[in-house]
Amino acid sequence: MKVFALIMAGGKGKRLGLPVEKPLLQFLGKPLIEWVVEAVKASQNISDFYIVTSQHTPETEKKCKQENWRIIRTDGRNYHDDLKQAVLDRQLCFPVLTIPADLPALTGEFLDKTISAFIQQGKDALAVFVPIEKREKLGLSVSSYDKHEGIDYALSGVNVLDGSKIHQEHIETGALITEDIEASLNINTQKDLEIAERIVSERLKRK
């Protein structure tokens, strides 16, 4: 089964404290969003994608137009509201993979693994969680977390959602709990950026 992908790139990115929009932040010589798009294109199970933008990311929109990446402009309220708005706007009534634009270690293989977990679990949605201690061990910040079966986990921002269930009050959600670096390296602070660049650079040298 192939799914559609939404790359979420409409947030304010205030925690970084930089004048550049977060999706355009340079990471080892190219914008963060390019790393994510490359991973999406490398996936065997993603049919197509949109970049979800807002009034907070006008320069990102310009970049998307230059690259001929299709966009969905949302109101920029928050991640969940923008996701819902994008799904309804394009009537995506089928499984949709959502990815934040700040995961530079992502690979097509990891995205395929996530989609496979969604299919195998057979629920309305799937959330990818990272153990908090994994991020702390790497020296990374933990700004977004949620409980799964009574345990707090860091949110990677990678999810799969059956768009046809978007109106339901209760959505049955499965989980993929992973220490994979692909899901662990989201960039929220300048320190996160420095650590992630070092880790990804070392990985690239080993290839």
Q: Tell me: the pLDDT tens digits for 15-68?
A: 677 789 999 999 999 999 999 999 999 999 999 999 999 999 999 999 999 999
Give the gyration radius of the chain's Cα atoms. 16
pLDDT at res. 12: 80
Q: Tell me: the pLDDT tens digits for 82-95?
A: 999 999 999 999 99
Task: Look at 19 and 161; give whichever has higher pLDDT.
Answer: 161
Helix ranges (DSSP H) in the chain:
32-42, 58-67, 79-89, 108-121, 132-138, 181-184, 190-206
Give strand pairing partners of 129: 155, 177
- The fold of the 3-206 domain, in CATH, is Spore Coat Polysaccharide Biosynthesis Protein SpsA; Chain A (3.90.550)
- Average pLDDT in the 197-205 region? 94
**If pLDDT is split at 50, 70 and 90, which confidence band does 169 have?**
confident
- Show me where the domains of the chain are located: 3-206
pLDDT at res. 183: 97
pLDDT at res. 131: 97
Q: What's the full length of the chain, in residues?
A: 207
Task: Look at 11 and 112; give whichever has higher pLDDT.
Answer: 112
pTM of whole model > 0.75? Answer: yes
- Average pLDDT in the 143-164 region? 94
